[in-house]
């Protein structure tokens, strides 16, 4: 029995030279599933995504494997240099398939439903807004750290810089005054000009969640000299308080798969893995 892809609609252009297209997965010409591929463009080249894969009939017959390999060929033909896929944690068969086909895990999405106020900050600590004067230096450091993390997951230096610039530009269009965004330093309450012990960036809603809006932690960073003292936990409690203050009860985040310290912290705070992102270079 032959498994093939058949276009299921016209190819649609995307900004930056990208494109997307849906396909039917067919066995001997009969639809048995669906697939969608997307390419996001930029100066560093195209990155492909398999944004949908569903086999509705005849599972465990290798149809998913053939569909993924065919999707890679489509993306390769579009000029993509790598392919990524995000898989819900409960889809065990898809997680196994990605690993078997050489995809490398690079990121985990975790989330928590907030039912009560978190503990207050430890005595002597407070959250200070990152104002316009402090924002440029904080942003430059955020970008550098993000580039290093992306390179560690397999992106080239150029791809990582491009993605860092694009993501920060889209998420912080108005800098520290961006709507529904809390930027905070964790600092000693005294003196007033104390050096930060860490920083937090949280978007207070605006994403769809299981029970309404989903807030999102984009960054939690503890200063190198202050690590190992529980400040990461304090920053996450601060993030939860900011979320609840905005009337949002679900908080999510991404964490790079090899950041065992952060994963351990989030797990101890009650966050659970909801999705994993895998990537693979297209040679």
Residues 95 and 222 in one domain: no
Residue 107 falls inside a structural domain: no
The pLDDT assigned to 273 comes to 97
Residue 13 falls inside a structural domain: yes
| DSSP 8-state assignment for residue 194 | P
Give the residue from 56, 77, 102 where a domain finishes: 102
Give the residue from 102, 133, 153 where a domain finishes: 102
Alpha carbons within 13 angstroms on the beta-carbon side of residue 186 total 29
pLDDT 10s digits, 235-278: 999 999 999 999 999 999 999 898 999 999 999 999 999 999 99
Residues 177 and 271 in one domain: yes
Residues 144 and 218 in one domain: yes
Q: Is 218 strand, coil or helix?
A: strand
Residues 20 and 123 in one domain: no
For the chain, what is the domain count?
A: 2
Q: Is 50 strand, coil or helix?
A: strand
Over residues 119-126, mean pLDDT: 93
- Domain of residue 39 covers 3-102
CATH of the domain at 87: 3.40.630.30
Note the residue count of the chain. 283
The pLDDT assigned to 205 comes to 75
Residues 63 and 181 in one domain: no
Residues 200 and 232 in one domain: yes
Residue 281 falls inside a structural domain: no
Residues 36 and 119 in one domain: no
Give the residue from 102, 132, 147 where a domain finishes: 102
Residue 43 falls inside a structural domain: yes
The pLDDT assigned to 43 comes to 56
Over residues 179-207, mean pLDDT: 90
Token code pair at residue 53: 């894969």
- pLDDT over 90 at 108, yes or no: yes
Residue 118 falls inside a structural domain: yes
Over residues 104-127, mean pLDDT: 94
Residue 96 falls inside a structural domain: yes
Q: What is the DSSP pairing of strand 46-55 with strand 80-88?
A: parallel
Find, among 145, 124, 112, the residue nearest to 229 by Cα: 124
The pTM (predicted TM-score) of the whole model is 0.88
Over residues 194-219, mean pLDDT: 85
pLDDT 10s digits, 56-68: 987 878 999 999 9
pLDDT 10s digits, 16-44: 789 999 999 999 889 999 999 999 876 56
Residues 184 and 239 in one domain: yes
Q: Mean pLDDT highest for which of 187-191, 207-211, 214-218?
A: 214-218
Task: Give the pLDDT band of residue 209 (cuts 50, 70, 90).
Answer: low
Average pLDDT value over all residues in the chain? 92
Residue 132 falls inside a structural domain: yes
- pLDDT over 90 at 159, yes or no: no
Residue 38 falls inside a structural domain: yes
Instruction: Please say whether the beta carbons of 37 and 84 come within 8 A.
Output: no
The pLDDT assigned to 138 comes to 97
Residues 121 and 93 in one domain: no
Residues 138 and 248 in one domain: yes
- pLDDT over 80 at 212, yes or no: no
- 62-68 long-range contacts, Cβ below 8 Å, gap at least 24? 62/3, 63/3, 63/25, 63/27, 63/32, 63/33, 64/33, 64/93, 64/94, 64/97, 65/97, 65/100, 65/101, 66/3, 67/3, 67/5, 67/25, 67/33, 67/35, 68/97, 68/101
Least confident stretch, 18-27, 146-155, 179-188, 259-268: 146-155
The pLDDT assigned to 163 comes to 85
pLDDT 10s digits, 123-137: 999 999 999 999 999
Residues 123 and 210 in one domain: yes
Residues 92 and 177 in one domain: no
CA-CA distance, 138 to 190, in Å (whole number)?
21
The pLDDT assigned to 154 comes to 73
């Amino acid at each position: 029995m032959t498994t093939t892809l058949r276009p299921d609609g016209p190819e649609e252009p995307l900004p930056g030279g990208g494109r997307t297209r849906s396909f039917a997965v067919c066995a001997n010409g009969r639809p048995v599933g669906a697939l969608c591929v997307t390419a996001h463009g930029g100066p560093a080249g195209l990155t492909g995504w398999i944004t949908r894969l569903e086999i509705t009939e005849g599972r465990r017959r290798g149809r998913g494997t053939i569909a993924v390999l065919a999707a890679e060929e489509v993306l390769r033909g579009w000029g993509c240099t790598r392919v990524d896929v995000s898989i819900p944690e409960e889809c065990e068969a898809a997680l196994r398939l990605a690993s078997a086909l050489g995809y490398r895990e690079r990121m985990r999405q975790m989330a928590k439903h907030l039912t009560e106020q978190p503990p207050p900050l430890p005595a002597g600590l407070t959250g200070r807004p990152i104002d316009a004067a402090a924002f440029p230096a904080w942003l430059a450091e955020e970008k550098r750290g993000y580039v290093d993390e992306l390179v560690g997951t397999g992106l080239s230096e150029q791809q990582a810089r491009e993605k860092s610039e694009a993501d920060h530009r889209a998420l912080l269009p108005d800098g520290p005054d961006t709507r529904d965004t809390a930027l905070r330093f964790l600092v000693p309450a005294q003196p007033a000009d104390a050096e930060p012990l860490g920083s937090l960036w949280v978007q207070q809603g605006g994403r769809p969640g299981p029970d309404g809006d989903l807030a999102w932690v984009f960054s939690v960073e503890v200063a190198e000299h202050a690590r190992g003292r529980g400040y990461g936990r304090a920053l996450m409690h601060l993030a939860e308080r900011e979320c609840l203050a905005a009337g949002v009860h679900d908080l999510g985040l991404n964490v790079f798969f090899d950041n065992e310290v952060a994963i351990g912290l989030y797990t101890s705070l009650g966050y659970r893995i909801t999705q994993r992102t895998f990537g693979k270079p297209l040679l």
